[in-house]
Structure 1
Amino acid sequence: MASAALLLPLLGAAPATAQSSENSLQQAFAAAAAEYHVPQSVLLGVSYLQSRWDTHGGAPSVTGGYGPMHLTDARTALATDPHHSEGTEDARGDSARPALHPAARLPSSDELPARLTTLPRAARLTGLSAGELRTDPAANIAGGAALLAAAQRGLGEPLSADPANWYGAVARFSGADDTATAATYANDVYDVLRTGEERTTDAGRPVALAAQPDLAPRTAQLRETGLRTASAAGTECPASVSCEWIPAPYEQFGDNDYGNHDVGDRPASPGIRYIVVHDTEGGWEGVLNLVQDPTYVSWTYSLRSTDGHVAQHVKAKDVAWHSGNWYVNAKSIGLEHEGFLALPDSWYTEAMYRSSARLVKYLAAKYGIPLDRQHILGHDNVPGPTTAAVPGMHTDPGPYWDWRHYFELLDRPFAATARRSGGLVTIRPDYTANQPVYTDCVGQGQACAAHGSSEVRLYSDHDEKSALITDVGKGSPPTTDVNDISSRVSTGQQYAVAGQWGDWTAIWYLGQKAWFRNPKEQPTAVPGAGQVVTPKDGRASVPLYGRAYPEVSAYPADVPAQAVSPLPYTLPKGQKYVAGDEVPGEYYYAVTFSTDSHQVVVGDDQYYEIQYGHRVAFVRAADVKVMSSTS
C-alpha cells in the first residue's frame, strides 16, 4: 500500500472525476497500475493502441483478443475459409481469360505464435480465470498490467514510475517477433502518451489520458528485447510502418496457365488510381501461405491485426488479382486486413487501423491518389465488370469497418462542405450509436449481435416499415443479411439529395429515390456540394458500365476487342449522381505469362466514375452533362 501511494501521484493520467461510478473503467486502470507497479499512462497508452479502451462486450477480436488490453486466445478466432475461396468471384475479373475460382483452404495448425496466446499467460500471472480475463474489463486490465510488468522484469529493468523507462516492455507487449514491428508499435504508444487522448468507450465509459508532450522514451531498450532483425529490403512502405517482403509467385504451369498476378509497368502504364480495402476472412499465417501459392490469387499488401505489421507480396508496378474487376485491378493496389466481415465483434485493433492509414497515405502521395471514397474503395464498392458478375461480387470489409475513424487517421475527416442547400450529402453516422439490424452473421435468419456500423439502411419511403431498396443486378429481393448491400450506403460516400421529409432525407441511388433517417439531433449525413452528372437533354436514360473500356476501333489488330457491355442499371432522366474522375477508356491486355504481348489500349471515349449505389459505376461522358449540385 505504501509503494502504491508513492506511485500513484506520479502517474498523472487520471482526471479528477476518476472516482465517480461512471468512471469505473478509468478507476480500473488506476487500480491495476498500482497493483502491478506499471505507470498508469503506459497502461492506458497500450490499451488505447489495442482497443481504444473499448470492451466489446467480452467478444473477441479478429485474432481472438479480448477486452481493453486485447489479451489473446486465438483458438476462439481461427477461420476455415479464406477470402477468395467460396467460388463466387473471379478475382482477376478479366473475361479475356477463363474465370479463376480458387478452391484453396486455410491450413490448420495446433501451433500458435506467442502473440496469440497472451490471455493464458495473463491468467497464470494474475491467478484470475480465463473467463474473468475475457469478460471482466477490470480483470482484463489487470492481466495487461501483469504482462507489462513481467516484460519489464524480463528485460532486467526496474518497475519504474517513469513512463520513459518502459519502451522495451511496451515493444515486447506487442507480441511482435522482430525489432521493426515492435518498435513501430512502441512508437505509436508513445505518440499516444505525448498527445493524450480522451473518449467515451463503447460501454459509455469516459476515459482520459493526459498529454505528456515532452516524454522521450529510452528507445535503446529495444536492443535488450532479443527480437530478430527483419529486413524490409524489397518493400515499398513508409518508414513509419514495419514491413517485410513475402513475394507472391509469378509462375507458369500447365498450358499457358500461370499465377498469381501479372507483370506491369505501373504507374507509367497503366496508371494507379485506386486503393481497395479488403478483409482476409482468415488468420495471418494461413493467409500468407495462400498468397504464396502460384495457383491461388494475390493482393499487394497484408496487414496483421495484433500489431499492424505489414507484408508486401506484389510490387506496385505489377497487377495483383484481388478485386474481381480487371479494370479496377489494373489501376489499383489491394490491401488485405486480417479480419472477418460477418463477425461484428471480431474487431480490428487500433494498431492495424493506424498502420493501414499510414500505408495508404504513403501510397496516395506517391501515386497521386485522392483520399476520398471514390478512390479509397472497399471491395464492396468495386462494381461487377459485367451483368453476370454482379451477384457474385464480394462485400468486404463490410458494415463493421470504421470508415469514419479510418479517414480521421488519414487526416481527411468527413465534414460538411456546404449549407443544407448544397445539393449533396456525405454519409457520416456516429459509428458507435449507429446500429442497424443485420442478420445471418452466425446462422441463417438469426440476428447479428448489436454493434456499431459505418453503414446506413435505405428505404423506398420515409418510413422504416416501407420496403428496402431493390438492387436489380443482384437478382433477388433485398434483405438485412450482413452481406446484402442492396439497400445500404457507407460512411464517406456522397449522393445527390432527392428529397426531404421531416427527419428523413432521400437520395438518388440505383436509379431510385432512396430514403434514410437523418434526424437533426443525431444526423447520419452532413451537407455537401460538388459536381454531378445527369442524362443529356432528350435522353430518357443512359447506360452504366462496370469498367471503362475503350471503343472497339481503339484496339490494334493483335489485341482482341473487349465488349463495352452495359450493366443492368441505368441513369434515368431527372436523376443526379456524384461525379468523380473523367477518364479515357482503357484496357490492359495481359493474358500470357510472357510479357511480350502485354500492352495498354487507350480509346477516345471518355467516362465519368460515379457513386451510383453502394458500388461505383462508369458512365460515358458523351451520354451525360456535368453540372453543379446546387443548380
Structure 2
Amino acid sequence: MASAALLLPLLSSGPAATAEEPPSSGALQRDFAAAAERYGVPQNVLLAVSYLQSRWDTHGGAPSVTGGYGPMHLTDARTALAEAAHHSDGEEDARGDDSRAARLATEAALPEAAELPARLRTLERAAELSGLSAEELRTSPAANIQGGAALLAAAQRESGRPASDDPADWFGAVARYSGADDTATATTYANDVFDVIRTGERRTTDSGQTVALAPAPDVAPDTGQAATLGLRTADKGLTECPPTVACEWIPAPYEEFGDGDYGNHDKANRPISQQIDYIVVHDTEASWDVTLKLVQDPTYVSWQYSLRSSDGHIAQHLSLKDVGWHAGNWFVNAKSVGLEHEGFLTAPDSWYTEAMYRTSARLVRYLAARYDIPIDRQHILGHDTVPGTTTATIRGMHTDPGPYWDWAHYFRLLGRPITPSAGPDAGVVTIRPEYAAHQPVYTGCVKAGEACAPHGSGAVRLHTGPSESAPLVKDIGLRPGGQDSTTGVNDTGARASTGQQFAVAERRGDWTAVWYLGQKAWFHNPKEQPTAVNARGPVLTPRAGLAEVPVYGRAYPEAAAYPAGVPVQAVSPLPYKLLAGQRYVVGDRTPGEYYFAPVFDTTGHRVVRGQEEYYEIQFGHRVAFVKAADVRILQD
C-alpha cells in the first residue's frame, strides 16, 4: 500500500457489472419503508444511518474507499481488495526542503483479507442475518437496505432492548452500527445520525431517486446507551480537537538516529514563530491500522491528523505547534496542518462516507477559527494544489485527493457554500460543476489510456480553444517537451477544481476562457448546466513596464535576510511565466519566510523572515507565488 503521507488514490476496476439499472423515482424510498417494516426498525433511523454513510447514493455498485457497498455502506473489503489495482503516482519528497536529504515514504503491501477488522466485513454478517447473498447485497440497493436494517435490528436485540417504534430508543444500536471500537466515536456517530433525524434531509441521489426524511425535532435519545456497548475509552491525551468530534492521541515519534538523521517531524513553536495559513487535505492508500503504524514509525514521515472513513474517528499525531512532513513543500509544511483521510481501496468512482466528510469539516472549521485561516481554496488546499518547490520537483508532486473529492459538498459542510457573488459579466469565476451530473471521462484508473468508470467529479477540463475537440492546455512543468496534457486521472496539467477562482480572459457562447499557467484556457460552461459561478475579487497583473514576471513554488526570503550560520536558500523560479495582460486571482500577501530546522537539536532552529513580500495566486491547478514588487493589484 502506498504511503499514507504521500496519499494518492488507489484505483480499482470500478462498479460491479451486475449493478442494477436506476429504478423509477420513488423506488428507493419504498425500499427503505419495506426494510424498516420487515425488521422493525424505525424508518427515520434507517434513513438517517444510510444518509450518514452514503447520502442515499448507490454509486452504481462500486465500493467506497474502505470497501463499503450500497446505500447502507455494507463493507466487504475482501472483495474490493481482490478487484483493486494498486498504483501510486509521483515521487515526492514529503519534507520538501532541498537543503536537507529527501524524506521519501516507502511502499506498503495491501493487507491480507484475514487481517481485515470486523468493521470492514459487515456485509458477511448482513448476509447471515438477512439470508440474502453477498452478490445481492453488493449490487442491489433494495437488498443492501434490507441488509443494513437487519444489522440494526440485530444490534438492538444484542443490547437487550426491544424493537421499539420510538427512534429515541435506538441510540445504542446506531452507535454499534458505526463499527467504532471506542465509546466517544460511537457516540459522536450516533449523535450525527440523530441530528439528521431531527433536522431532516431531502435530496436527489446519484441514481435519480428523490429520497426524503421529514424532520423530527423533538427526538431526544438516551445518549448514555453507547456507554453500555463495552467499547474502549480512547486516550484524548494532548489532542487539539473541537468537542463535536471524537479525537484520540496517537503520537508520531521524534527520534534521532545518528549521523545527523532524525524523524519524523520538526519541533516548532507555531503560531508564535510562524502563522499557520493552510490546511492541506490528503487521502491515503493505507488502511487505518497501516496508517497508524506508518505515522508511528520514526523513520517515516508525518502529519497532524488521520480521519477514519467508516465512522469519522480522528487520531492526532503531532501538536499543532510542530511541523509535519506531508505536503512535499517545506514552505507549505512549515505553515500548514495536514489532514489524512483513510482510503485504501479507492475505485475509479470511489466515494467517502458522509461521516468522514462531516467530522473533517468540523475539524477544519475549528482549525480555521483558531488560526484565523480563511475558508477558501487558496487556504484549504488539496495535496494536489500544493506547488512543487523547484522545476525539478514539479513532476514528482502528488495528486490526491483527486477529481472525485466532493469539494462543493465539503464547503457546504464548512459553512461556506460556493455561490455566485457577481453578475454575468464578472471578471472572475469560481469553478463549481454539479458534482453528480458532471462526469468527464478520466483514463488510467486501472490501465493507461483505458477509461475509468463514469462518476461525478468536481473538476473541469481545460482546452486551448472553445471546443471539446481542441487540444488540452499544456503544462510545461509536467511535460518540458511541450506535449499536450492528457485525460489521465492523475494528470493535473489541464484541470481546474471546484472552489478554485480564476480571472476571466474571454467568454464565447457556452465557453469561458480563464488565465491558467500563463495561457488562455477554455472550459465548457453552458448556461443550462454551468460549471462555474461568477465572482468578484482582487486580481493581479505584471506592473507597468514588465512583459513577464517569474512564478515561484515557495515564498523564500531574499539573500540579505539570512543571518550568519543559516545557509541562504535559493529563490528559484518555476518554468512558468506570468505575462503582461494576464490576470490571476490574489490570495494572501506574505513576507518571505524560511524555517531553518536542519538538525534534531532545536536550539538552533529559527525563522528567517525577509523584506521581500509575495502574493499567493491561483496560477494553474496548483497555487503559486509571485513577488509583490513585480505586480500590481486590480479589483474585478
> What is the TM-score when the length of structure 2 is the normalising length?
0.94
Of 119, 123, 129, which aligns to 2:123? 119
What does residue 12 of structure 1 align with?
none
Q: Supply the distance in 2 between the matched residues of 1:422 and 1:463 (Cα, whole angstroms).
A: 22
Alpha-carbon distance in 1 for matches of 2:146, 2:628: 61
Q: Does 1:329 align with 2:333?
A: yes
Q: Note if 1:253 corresponds to 2:257.
A: yes
Which residue identity does 1:421 align to in structure 2? Answer: D
Q: Is the 8 A contact 1:50 1:68 kept in 2?
A: yes
Does structure 2 conserve the Cα–Cα contact (< 8 Å) formed by 1:510 and 1:569?
Answer: yes
Partner of 2:351: 347
User: What SS class does the counterpart of residue 299 from structure 2 fall into?
Assistant: coil
**Residues 533 and 625 in structure 1, CA contact (< 8 A), matched pair in contact too:** yes
Task: Point out which structure has higher relative CO (alpha carbons under 8 A, 6+ apart).
Answer: 2
Tell me which residue corresponds to 2:232.
228
Q: 2:568 corresponds to which residue?
A: 561
Shift of 1:111: 2.3
Shift of 1:104: 4.1
> In structure 2, what is the Cα distance between the partners aligned to 1:554 and 1:420?
46
Question: Which residue is 2:75 aligned to?
Answer: 72
Give the 5 Å matches for 1:149-548. Answer: 149-339=153-343, 343-475=347-479, 476-548=483-555
Supply the AA of the counterpart residue of 1:429. Answer: P
User: Secondary structure at 2:425's aligned position in 1?
Assistant: helix
- Corresponding residue of 1:51: 54
2:300 and 2:423 map into 1 onto residues whose CA distance is 49
3-state secondary structure, aligned to 1:151: helix
**Cα distance between partner residues in 2 of 1:287 and 1:374:** 27
Counterparts of 1:81 and 1:441, CA distance in 2: 8
216-225 vs 298-307, greater mean Cα deviation = 216-225
Deviations 1:402-434 (A, max 9, x none): 000000000000111111222100001000011
By how many angstroms is 1:301 displaced? 0.5
Q: Which residue identity does 1:545 align to in structure 2? A: Y
- Distance in 2 separating the partners of 1:107 and 1:34: 40
Does the alignment pair 1:30 with 2:64? no
1:82 deviates by: 9.6
Measured after TM superposition, the shift of residue 102 of structure 1 is: 2.5
Match of 2:94 among 83, 87, 91: 91
Cα distance change, pair 87–494 in 1 and its aligned pair in 2 (3 A): closer
Aligned amino acid, residue 349 of structure 1: T
Distance in 1 between residues matched to 2:136 and 2:311, nearest whole Å? 24
Partner of 2:604: 597
Q: Does 1:61 align with 2:68?
A: no
Cα deviations by residue, 1:336-372 (Å, 9 ceiling, x for unpaired): 0012596233210000000100000000000111000
| 1:7-28 CA-partner distances (Å, limit 9, x unpaired) | xxxxxxxxxxxxx942110000
Deviates further, 328-337 or 213-222: 213-222
SS at match of 2:105: coil
Alpha-carbon contact 2:92-2:328 (below 8 Å) kept? yes
- Asked if the contact 1:533–1:578 (Cα under 8 Å) also holds between the matched residues in 2, the reply is yes
Q: Displacement of 1:73 after TM fit?
A: 1.1
Tell me, in whole angstroms, the C-alpha distance in 2 between the residues paired with 1:557 and 1:580: 32
> Measured at CA, do residues 233 and 350 of structure 1 come closer, stay the same or move farther in structure 2, by a change above 3 Å?
same
Distance 1:268 1:354 in 2: 30
Instruction: Give the Cα separation in 1 of the matches to 2:106 and 2:432.
Output: 37
- Structure 1 distance, partners of 2:142, 2:97, is 53
Q: Secondary structure at the match of 1:489?
A: strand
The 2-side partners of 1:425 and 1:326 are apart by 30
Q: Percent of aligned positions with the same letter in both sequences?
A: 68
Structure 1 contact 82–106 (Cα < 8 Å) conserved: no
Residues 536-567 of structure 1 show CA distances to partners (whole Å, capped at 9, x for unaligned) of 11100000000000000000011000000100
CA positional deviation for 1:219: 1.3
Q: Contact 1:244–1:311 at 8 Å: present in 2 too?
A: yes
Checking the alignment, whether the CA contact within 8 Å between 2:64 and 2:347 is kept in structure 1 is no
Distance 2:347 2:51 in 1: 22
For structure 2, which runs of at least 5 residues remain unmatched after alignment? 1-22
- Deviation of 1:98 (Å): 1.2
Quote the residue 2:15 is aligned against.
Answer: none
Deviations 1:138-190 (A, max 9, x none): 00000000000000000000000000000000000000011000000000000
Structure 2 residue identity aligned to 1:232: K
Q: CA RMSD in A?
A: 1.5
Q: Contact 1:62 / 1:77 at 8 angstroms: preserved in 2?
A: no
Equivalent pairs counted in the alignment come to 609
SS at match of 1:76: helix
Aligned equivalent of 1:7:
none
